[in-house]
Amino acid sequence: MNEERLREIIVEKAPDAVMFADHEGVIQLWNEGAEWIFGVAKEAALGRSLDLIIPERLRARHWQGYHQTMATGETRYGRQLLRVPALKGDGEQFSSEFSIVLVQDESGQPLGVAAILRDVSAQWQREKELKERIAVLESERK
């Protein structure tokens, strides 16, 4: 099996969402993990705006940063993990964690952004419960 085919299989079958949105924020790549996490079939996601997965209250801020990245070719989120709410296809919000890759052409011009994302709702809920328990214990000590 050649290296290119191996990459295709890994990306397509990964349990994490692997997606790519072009310069305008239109989804061009949506793997099986994205279908499972978001509950949206590949055919329904491809060609759609990233608004599909961004909660409405976060869209203005998202698009401001996205357009700035496309204009400058720079992002401050290169190797940083980001944690933000995301939307499933049915409108349910969940906690996501993801990294991004700014994809550029040979001359360094941005073509779009790839993201590798996972649902961390269960982890977020455990952290919330632990923080609440710590607060209770601290208040009892006083």
Does 78 have pLDDT greater than 80?
no
Please list, in sequence order, all residues whose beta carbon lies within 8 angstroms of the beta carbon of residue 35, skipping any fewer than 6 positions away: 41, 42, 45
pLDDT at residue number 69? 93
Contact in structure between 63 and 26 (CB atoms under 8 Å)? no
Looking at the structure of the chain, the number of domains it has is 1
DSSP string over 116-140: EEEE-HHHHHHHHHHHHHHHHHHHH
Mean pLDDT computed over every residue of the chain: 93
CATH of the domain at 90: 3.30.450.20
pLDDT at residue number 1? 84
Tell me the per-residue pLDDT of 3-20, one tens digit each, with 9 for 90 and over: 999 999 999 999 999 999
- What range does the domain containing 135 cover? 3-141
